[in-house]
């Protein structure tokens, strides 16, 4: 029983990481219709800024210092995302092919620049000593860092929902998605609201980048690659543009992958691809996605 609990909770922790990566993708596409392939560069920028902040505090940071590094990394990634949106994306709304080409180019350039400056070797991310301990859950020893991933993902999901549901900027964003011209006619700056969405997507990616670096035992310009692929899979399975759908899909993928790797070593990725194919065949719009006209 303790083995089952261990695999289940570590799977939820892995799913939380996938959600942190995918939530920004889902938010930006769902509310703005932007195919953002530069999302991995947001994740990497956040990871490196968080690494820099944590390094300034010493190799072994305290929990408040790590949270500060995570927040600063998220803010840096959000500001970088906002810069890309202002310089490039604003000229490419409703031009999806151009969006894809430009954002792929941004991703390649950022990866090359960071690789040239820091090299592609992993750099150990300073973490609190508490991360190396274990939490007893039903007799199973769960790595403590999994709790941080899960709590962060849940808080981000709640914050996204509350922002869009109960705030003025959330109301403007939802109205702009439904009828941008009408909102502009009322004298409301929809473009500024959409820039806020880009910032939030980048912030989520930056926070995810810091936590992915901890999970991967180090930060590197190459860390975004594998995780970004899973981010896109999560978005497709959950439903393009559905943040709750992405959360559900991320949990499913994390848990299924962990169980598959335990009972059939090395087949976790294959099982995830099969799950993706099944969802696309049975429900092409995703678990909680809407059919687009």
pLDDT tens digits, one per residue of 267-285: 888 999 999 999 999 998 8
How much is the pLDDT for 248? 93
Average pLDDT, the chain: 85
pLDDT over 70 (residue 59): no
Lowest mean pLDDT among 3-7, 40-44, 118-122: 118-122
How much is the pLDDT for 177? 64
How much is the pLDDT for 114? 87
Predicted TM-score of the model (pTM): 0.89
Tokens 């990616």 correspond to what residue? Answer: 205
pLDDT over 90 (residue 73): yes
pLDDT in tens, 180-202: 677 777 677 777 777 888 898 89
- CATH 1.10.3470 holds for 2-282: yes
pLDDT over 90 (residue 172): no
How much is the pLDDT for 272? 92
Maximum mean pLDDT: which of 29-38, 161-170, 250-259: 250-259
pLDDT in tens, 111-155: 888 888 888 788 888 888 888 888 888 778 888 889 999 999 999
How much is the pLDDT for 208? 92
How much is the pLDDT for 211? 93
Residue 72 pLDDT class (50, 70, 90 cuts): very high
pLDDT over 70 (residue 292): no
């Amino acid at each position: 029983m303790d083995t089952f609990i261990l695999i289940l909770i570590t799977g939820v922790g892995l799913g939380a990481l996938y959600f942190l990566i995918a939530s920004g993708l889902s938010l930006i596409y769902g509310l703005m219709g932007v195919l953002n392939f530069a999302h991995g560069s947001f994740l990497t920028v956040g990871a490196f800024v968080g690494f820099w902040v944590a390094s300034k505090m010493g190799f072994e940071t305290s929990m408040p210092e790590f949270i500060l590094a995570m927040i600063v990394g998220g803010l840096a990634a959000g500001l970088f995302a906002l810069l890309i949106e202002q310089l490039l994306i604003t000229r490419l709304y409703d031009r999806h092919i151009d969006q894809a080409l430009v954002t792929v180019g941004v991703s390649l350039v950022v990866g090359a620049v960071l690789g040239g400056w820091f090299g592609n070797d992993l750099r150990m991310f300073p973490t609190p000593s508490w991360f190396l301990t274990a939490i007893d859950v039903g007799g199973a020893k769960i790595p403590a860092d999994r709790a941080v991933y899960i709590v962060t993902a849940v808080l981000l999901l709640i914050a996204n929902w509350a922002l869009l549901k109960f705030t003025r900027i959330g109301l403007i964003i939802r109205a702009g998605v439904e009828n941008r011209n009408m909102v502009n006619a009322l004298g409301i700056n929809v473009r500024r609201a959409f820039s806020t969405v880009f910032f939030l997507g980048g912030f989520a990616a930056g926070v995810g980048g810091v936590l992915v670096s901890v999970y991967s035992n180090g930060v590197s310009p190459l860390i975004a690659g594998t995780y970004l692929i899973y981010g896109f899979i999560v978005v497709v399975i959950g439903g393009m543009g559905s943040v709750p759908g992405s959360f559900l899909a991320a949990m499913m993928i994390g848990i299924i992958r962990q169980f598959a790797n335990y009972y059939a070593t090395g087949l976790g990725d294959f099982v995830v691809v099969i799950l993706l194919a099944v969802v696309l065949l049975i429900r092409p719009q995703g678990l909680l996605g809407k059919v687009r006209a």
